[in-house]
Amino acid sequence: MLNENSAAPDFELADHLGRKVSLSQFKGKQHVLLLFYPLDFTPT
Partner 1 sequence: MGGISFPLLADFHPKGAMADSFGLYLADNGITDRATVIIDAAGVIKHISAVGPPGSRDIEAIVALCEKVDAEYTGEKSAPAAAAGIDSGTLYVKSGCGASRAAMLALENLHLGDKIAIKNVSDDAGAMGAMKSAAGNEQAPTLVCGDKTIQESGDIVAHMASCTAPV
By CB under 8 A, residue 41 contacts partner 1: no
Torsion over CA: 17, 18, 19, 20 (sign): positive
* 31-36 contacts, C-beta under 8 A, 24 or more apart: 32/8
Positions 21 through 40 that interact with partner 1 (CB under 8 A):
21, 23-39
Mask: binding to partner 1, 4-23, rule CB under 8 A, as x and -?
A: xxxxxxxx-xxxxx-x-x-x
Binding site for partner 1 (CB under 8 A): 1-11, 13-17, 19, 21, 23-39, 42-44
